[in-house]
Chains A and B, each alone.
Chain A
């Protein structure tokens, strides 16, 4: 424990630097995101993640957004436990028929103004499961979607970029 704390003082931070003058870098986009998000929504944007039938691959990468490298919270973005606290629903999966009602109810429980971001190829069009009797397919078939972030699964950088694009188009 002491060792960790001591090392913490001596080592450089893992978190990737914010102000790098490269327009495509995560950090710069992150900065834009932070500024726009603050303009629109005050201090922060609260995200509620909903797995509507994913294989869990998308969740793993969404989780990674909170690790020390990406540290989503420094941009004022945070994951919340309840749709009642959320501005944004981040939805994954080919919406299984058994999850459809849960997704609709989660959406209904989210206060206005609210937005939906569909994450992953499954959420876009059902992905490999698109012809299944058990899936509805695209998230947009169930709730209105404001942005798709494609990938199987999208990596954390793609997710960050998508979130930024989203905040920018919100205006």
Chain B
């Protein structure tokens, strides 16, 4: 592979995307990128479409650096990346459903988000009216004498999001799991197109409710990159504070829920208390338990009052006291170990191939963390360790989450100690002249969230692409459950806790 020649082949295109310029490639260049992904020289961060072009964001392996490449495809099709690199496949199916652009030689041509019920085909690009049909979908076959199928969902037994799982099992042992999603598809791409920046920010905050802070942060950073807005230092600290509180609340909630699925309700109850206290403190400090709509392009919309700093310190001290006890309870309880160790294994190779972020990737040896790799403020000023494990099982994913809890506690302490005073939002105005593009990659609790957007000269969003970490985690759940018993599925699923809403968009 000759990197130098490709660099020359790729030309920056107007409007320039910031902070990573978008490069135009031809079909050969596009396939070169796909090949380098397949060889593991690069990692796929996202793949998305527009009216007559497709874009791909990749991570350069050698010098953590992001690149965005574009292929114009006025004839409505592009060479499939998925044929060489399977993680692209679902994204290509989604592009076809929403934008009508076809991936040539794609390994899987079935629709993905489109269940035939919208009344339109490719709604985001020259929509074509159709009659809503009934939903028929060809699941992959799993054949053999003793095999039987177990369909589950979209409505599940618990208070969880809707999706469909098709298990092929041999007795109790899962031979294949096939996921089918799109049930919570809300048409966010199309709602974004033509929205004002304020409305778009509200939409971004509601892509996945448990990651509302992270999505607002990613969206705001992309806008700030596009318009070259300097966020005041205090605002960056408050953003990180919210992001870490969100991470803490989710990790405690999830650890509790995982243990609950292993019939250990005591952990669930204890973790639920910690989560509730965090949310109450968040509501007191920022006026919303989930901190929705508190981060805006330019900064944050609420300041942290001095009296709340003390309350947050008290909260952190209490969590610091609780955490070792919860760790001991988890680590010393053989009935938990019995269920979690060795269950739902994800190999290192698979985690790397899928560029799998968050605790799922980190529990399988992939240590990417956008806070470190992208180095957005204020993280370079803070000291913290990223969790890592190699076990790849449910147990490892819980331990990585405990590591992340410790790191977040440390970060919150530093923020409370060191956050500078000053303004919390930068005044900025839309330049009236030209179209702008921006992108961002931030670390949500579940993994890295990617945003790319283009703002038209009249100040409205032309296209905003938001990529949830779940896109690259859901496929690994299919792999993780293989050869486990059906009854261990809830446990595995909780240990991943992928987003449905963020994925279906």
Interface residues of A in 51-105 (CB under 8 A from B): 51-64, 66-69, 79, 81-83, 93-94, 96-102
Contact between B118 and A97, CB atoms less than 8 A apart: yes
Contacts of B184 in A (CB 8 A): 51, 53-54, 93, 96, 98-99
Contact between A59 and B117, CB atoms less than 8 A apart: no
Q: Mark B476-501, 1 if CB is under 8 A from A, else 0.
A: 00000000000000000000000111
Contacts of A135 in B (CB 8 A): 186-187
Q: Using a Cβ–Cβ cut-off of 8 Å, how many residues does chain B contribute to the interface with A? A: 55
A9 contacts the other chain (CB 8 A): no
Q: Using a Cβ–Cβ cut-off of 8 Å, how many residues does chain A contribute to the interface with B? A: 49
Contacts of A131 in B (CB 8 A): 191
Contact between A134 and B162, CB atoms less than 8 A apart: no
Give CA–CA (A67, B260) in the complex, Å: 13
Q: How many contacts between A and B, using CB within 8 angstroms? A: 148
Residue of A nearest to B329 (CB): A1
Given contacts A59-B161, A133-B190, A153-B290, contact A96 B273 (CB under 8 A): no
Q: Mark B135-164, 1 if CB is under 8 A from A, else 0.
A: 100000000000000000011011111100
Contact between B209 and A128, CB atoms less than 8 A apart: no
B430 contacts the other chain (CB 8 A): no
Contact between B120 and A100, CB atoms less than 8 A apart: no
A28 contacts the other chain (CB 8 A): no
Give CA–CA (A100, B135) in the complex, Å: 12
Query: What is the minimal beta-carbon distance from A109 to any residue of chain B, in angstroms?
Result: 9
Contact between B155 and A50, CB atoms less than 8 A apart: yes
Contact between A67 and B183, CB atoms less than 8 A apart: no
Contact between B273 and A56, CB atoms less than 8 A apart: no
User: Looking at A60, A67, A98, A128, which has the most chain B CB atoms within 10 Å of its CB?
Assistant: A98
Give CA–CA (A106, B183) in the complex, Å: 15
Q: Mark B311-340, 1 if CB is under 8 A from A, else 0.
A: 000000000000001000100110000000
Interface residues of A in 26-59 (CB under 8 A from B): 49-59
Contacts of A1 in B (CB 8 A): 266, 329, 332-333
Contact between A102 and B162, CB atoms less than 8 A apart: yes
Contact between B159 and A63, CB atoms less than 8 A apart: yes
Contact between B162 and A51, CB atoms less than 8 A apart: yes
Contacts of B279 in A (CB 8 A): 64
State which of A4, A83, A94, A133 has its C-beta within 8 Å of the C-beta of B118. Answer: A133
Contact between B276 and A134, CB atoms less than 8 A apart: no
State which of B203, B210, B276 has its C-beta within 8 Å of the C-beta of A56. Answer: B210
B132 contacts the other chain (CB 8 A): yes
Contacts of A128 in B (CB 8 A): 191, 199, 202-203, 206
B86 contacts the other chain (CB 8 A): no
Residue of B nearest to A152 (CB): B292
Contacts of A127 in B (CB 8 A): 206
Give CA–CA (A66, B289) in the complex, Å: 16
Give CA–CA (A82, B158) in the complex, Å: 9
Give CA–CA (A64, B273) in the complex, Å: 9
Contact between B209 and A54, CB atoms less than 8 A apart: yes
Give CA–CA (A14, B127) in the complex, Å: 54
Contacts of A82 in B (CB 8 A): 157
Contacts of A155 in B (CB 8 A): 283, 289
Contacts of B212 in A (CB 8 A): 55, 57
Contact between B186 and A96, CB atoms less than 8 A apart: yes
Contact between A49 and B273, CB atoms less than 8 A apart: no
Contacts of A93 in B (CB 8 A): 184
Given contacts A4-B266, A67-B276, A133-B127, contact A57 B210 (CB under 8 A): yes
Contact between B157 and A81, CB atoms less than 8 A apart: yes
Contacts of B289 in A (CB 8 A): 61, 155
Contact between A60 and B290, CB atoms less than 8 A apart: yes
| 13 A–B contacts from the bound complex (CB under 8 Å) | A51-B159, A53-B186, A55-B212, A55-B501, A56-B500, A64-B275, A102-B155, A128-B191, A129-B187, A133-B119, A134-B123, A135-B187, A152-B292
Q: Give the interface of A toward B (CB within 8 A).
A: 1, 3-4, 14, 49-64, 66-69, 79, 81-83, 93-94, 96-102, 106, 127-129, 131-135, 152-153, 155
Q: Give the interface of B toward A (CB within 8 A).
A: 115, 117-120, 123, 127, 132, 135, 154-155, 157-162, 182-188, 190-191, 199, 202-203, 206-210, 212, 253, 266, 269-270, 272-273, 275-276, 279, 283, 289-290, 292, 325, 329, 332-333, 499-501
The 9 closest A-B pairs by CB, nearest first: A57-B209, A134-B187, A132-B187, A81-B157, A67-B272, A56-B209, A55-B209, A97-B117, A55-B206
**8 extra interface residue pairs, beta carbon distance < 8 Å, beyond A51-B160, A68-B272, A99-B162:** A4-B270, A4-B329, A53-B184, A57-B290, A129-B188, A129-B206, A131-B191, A132-B187
